[in-house]
Amino acid sequence: MEAMSDHKPVLSDPARAAIAWKRYWRLMRWMILAAIAAVAGALYYLHVDGGLVTVHMIIATVAGVGFSVLLGAALMLLVFMSSGSGHDEDAGGKSDRQ
């Protein structure tokens, strides 16, 4: 049985960390496309709704919808990366090697 101080976190391994971050950025690129689609949908809805669509409303919609989708995606992908890489278990002090 090894001591807790001997256990290295999974993400301290540069190879595993590189794989995890590569997967994160690959998924984030897809989410950028989803954010663009969400912004386009919101702008289309505003146009069809028939109200006055000013430049300020377009800028606010692009910033608000785009930022919300990207922030939500970034945080959820970080949760998935942390869980999938075993970092959560390392932080909690639990290990499969017990």
Q: Using one digit for the tens of pLDDT, what is the confidence trace for 25-52?
A: 999 999 999 999 999 999 999 999 988 8
Q: What is the largest CA-CA distance in the chain?
A: 69
This prediction's pTM: 0.71
**pLDDT at position 9:** 57
Per-residue pLDDT of 80-91, as tens digits, reads 887 766 666 666
Q: 9-45 burial, b for 16+ CB within 10 Å, e for fewer? A: ebbeeeeebeebeeebeebeeebeeebeebbeebbee
**Token output for 52:** 């006055």
